[in-house]
A and B are shown apart, each in its own frame.
Chain A
Amino acid sequence: MPIKHPSLHLERMNGAIPAWRGRITGEDLQPICQNVCDGGGRLVALWGSDERAQGHGFALHVVLVNENGLVCLSVPLPAERPSYPDISRIFPAANRMQRAVYDLLGIYAHEGNDHRKWLRHAAWHSGSFPLRKDFDAAQSRTEDLDNYPFVQVEGQGVHEIPVGPVHAGIIEPGHFRFSIVGEKVLRLEQRLGYTHKGIEKRFESMTLQQGAKLAGRVSGDSTVAYAWAYAMAAESIADTTPPDHALWLRALLLERERVANHLGDLGYLGNDVALSFGFAQFWILKEQVLRNNATLFSHRYLMDTIIPGGVAVDLTVEGKRVIEQECAMLEQQARILRGIYEEHAGVQDRFIGAGRVEPKLAAQLGLCGLAGRASAQSWDTRVQFPCAPYDKLDVQMATYRNGDVAARVIVRFDELFESLRLLRNILVNLTSGDELARPLDQLPANGFGIGMVEGWRGEVLVAIHSDTEGKLTRVHPHDPSWQNWPVLEHAIMGNIVPDFPLINKSFNLSYSGQDL
């Protein structure tokens, strides 16, 4: 049992990762969260659902994690004035999630001190809530302009630089409000939600199979992680396990996604400190990985390769040889490039000390994933909760204490080499010609399942609720960027404005994944 509390009765959920679920009342929410927080646990995700069609009111769902596993707490709320006690004072990362839950469902956190809107700009009225089942899109439409109360910094010589939503580079849209004095950043405030395109509502009109494609497009750079987490949630509800061969292939695909993204980021981090050589070199390597993906799996980014019940692609003997050769080439080239980065005085001068997040702050704010591991937050789903086939792979976690851009570069290099090692191990264990999937056509009625996968950026969670006919009634994809965006606001403090692109890139967070 992962956590103990007198009024908490947990039942073990089916599925690949250790997870428990329990119903609690609103009064027990804060004490249980405090208990988990004191024990070193974290908040993973928070979302709401409209259960009025089932004769209930609304519900709030909170997923917490500690070293024993995941705990999903559901808090039933009344249909009229649904509210629950604020938990952002225990887990600061809850702040934006709670505000998003209000914007989408009208469930609010009482006692909270920040009730500003988050995902809603001006596309719909403040009194209407898109994820309520009786939401009327036409009636709720507005043509107003967004009006958002940014926190003002006052003082002699302080001024603001507004940036975005359309940025200078090839990057997703978001607004950054810098309060600066001279070149030094006093405060950064983010305003996200620009790419909110109604993903969660879209899921509700989809079949299980269509939903798998949509899950793979929540954040295009993490398509494998989302598709796997979605499939894992569906398999948890149906209580099925994909064939072994499919699980090995999933791990192969996930590690290839990590390799491609880390190569791309390492190239851009060189570019951002004026070493365009780094960009040219790493992107040649990344392109070769993408081309092999296209040849072997028919998609450069591996979209739609994972389906509920298994996988949609296989690897031939020839394909294994291609990947073996690719791994050897990448290992050799990346070692040369790492040497060049580490010995380049200009690069190290920009990397070291920039955008530092101390381990203590990282723990307090719940920094997770790659950026968390660079600030001594040793969480990696593949290590703590190794679902098959990771239980046979003995993943070595890369952690570092410095918490600066240099640390996030080192963690990327270490994870790149570890993924290459894992890929070779996977190839050894992969026997071709086995069953690829036990296809899952329909979910059982009134089911609830979660899946969690360590994507390249961090832990990706997908939760699925099915209705009385087994259809998707609520799907919540959760990106680790929810936790990490607010930490970026702290990382930039005291740095100079021209270092922001570098620091931002070193986190490389998703806009689409958190805007939904």
Chain B
Amino acid sequence: MYQILKQIVKTGIKTETPPQADEAMRLQAQRLQQEILDVFRGALAIRQVDAGSCNGCELEIHAVNNAYYNIEGLGIKFVASPRHADLLLVTGPVSRHMEVALKRTYDAAPEPKLVVAIGDCACDGGIFGESYASCGKVSNVIPVDVVVSGCPPTPTAILQGILTAISAKK
């Protein structure tokens, strides 16, 4: 126990200042009222859905949980079920084999809900595009509020996308 406490003290606090919201990431006008956004801002629950990605975006979504980005410090946490979620974070081109699962996950999340598409493939199909096995971008399958491009997007960009989704349109 002593070793663990010593290591924690020596490591210190690594958390950095979070990024500001960026309106350029918004795909459709903010649909939610200020009152709801105020509630989300203090306690947002996210369900992540990999709809067919290469796992690159997942690595960066894991990274937003590390001490540097410390997403939980902002009152945002990842939950195990869409039924507990306010926001879906969706990666990948949507594979045709995940199309039904993604739609069902979207339907299972209670209203009001937000969707943020993460990564080039989720934004426009990326390198995989549309094919016999791929539906392409996420907005081909479910409504999307905010898109975050990048292959994969950095943790800062992902955080920025989430914060944009829960900020009111100025």
Contacts and interface: CB of A to CB of B under 8 A. Distances in A.
B96 A123 contact: yes
A173 B54 CA distance: 11
Contacts of B95: 123, 194-197, 515
A303 interface: yes
Interface stretch (A54-62, A215-223, A410-418): A215-223
B52 A286 contact: no
User: Which of A122, A141, A201, A280 gathers most chain B CB within 10 Å?
Assistant: A280
B44 to A, nearest CB: 15
B55 A283 contact: no
Contacts of B101: 165-166, 173, 194
Contacts of A135: 132
Contacts of B61: 170
A284 B14 contact: yes
B66 A123 contact: no
A284 B66 contact: yes
Nearest to B10: A336
Given A198-B134, A202-B128, A284-B68, A220 B152 contact: yes
B134 to A, nearest CB: 4
B82 A166 contact: yes
A310 interface: no
Nearest to A130: B132
B80 A169 contact: yes
Given A264-B62, A283-B67, A195 B98 contact: yes
A141 B132 contact: yes
B8 interface: yes
A83 interface: no
A140 B154 contact: no
Given A140-B132, A198-B134, A290 B63 contact: yes
A124 interface: yes
A195 B56 contact: no
Interface string B2-36: 01100110010010000000000000000000000
A202 B129 contact: yes
B127 to A, nearest CB: 6
Interface residues on B, range: 35 or more
B127 A301 contact: no
Given A194-B97, A300-B154, A301-B152, A173 B131 contact: no
Interface in A319-342: 336-337, 339-340
A137 B61 CA distance: 33
B54 A130 contact: no
Contacts of B54: 217-220, 512
A172 interface: yes
B37 to A, nearest CB: 24
B53 interface: yes
B147 interface: no
Interface string B104-120: 01000000000000000
A27 interface: no
Interface in A160-217: 165-166, 168-173, 193-199, 201-202, 213-214, 217
B100 interface: yes
A137 B66 CA distance: 42
A372 to B, nearest CB: 21
A170 B48 contact: yes
Nearest to B119: A220
A123 B82 CA distance: 25
Contacts of A173: 49-52, 98, 101
A447 B165 CA distance: 50
A220 B98 contact: no
Contacts of A428: none
A196 B97 contact: yes
A261 to B, nearest CB: 9
Contact of B63 (A145, A223, A283): A283
B161 interface: no
Contacts of B98: 165, 173, 194-195
A226 to B, nearest CB: 10
Contact of A123 (B7, B97, B151): B97
B3 A339 contact: yes
A26 to B, nearest CB: 29
B66 A197 contact: no
A336 B98 CA distance: 42
A202 B133 CA distance: 10
B63 A221 contact: no
A510 interface: yes
B56 A170 contact: no
Contact of A197 (B49, B62, B78, B128): B128
A123 B97 CA distance: 6
B160 to A, nearest CB: 16
Contacts of B92: 195, 197
B59 interface: yes
A511 B91 CA distance: 14
A148 to B, nearest CB: 11
Given A195-B50, A195-B92, A340-B4, 6 more contacts: A124-B133, A137-B131, A194-B95, A197-B131, A198-B131, A283-B63
Interface of B: 3-4, 7-8, 11, 14, 48-63, 65-68, 78, 80-82, 92-93, 95-98, 100-101, 105, 127-129, 131-134, 151-152, 154
Interface of A: 121-124, 130, 135, 137, 140-141, 145-146, 165-166, 168-173, 193-199, 201-202, 213-214, 217-221, 223, 264, 277, 280-281, 283-284, 286-287, 290, 294, 300-301, 303, 336-337, 339-340, 343, 510-512, 515
14 contacts: A123-B132, A130-B133, A166-B49, A193-B97, A217-B128, A217-B151, A220-B58, A220-B152, A280-B11, A284-B67, A290-B63, A336-B7, A337-B7, A512-B53
CB-CB nearest 8 A-B residue pairs? A220-B56, A198-B133, A123-B96, A168-B80, A283-B66, A137-B132, A220-B54, A198-B131
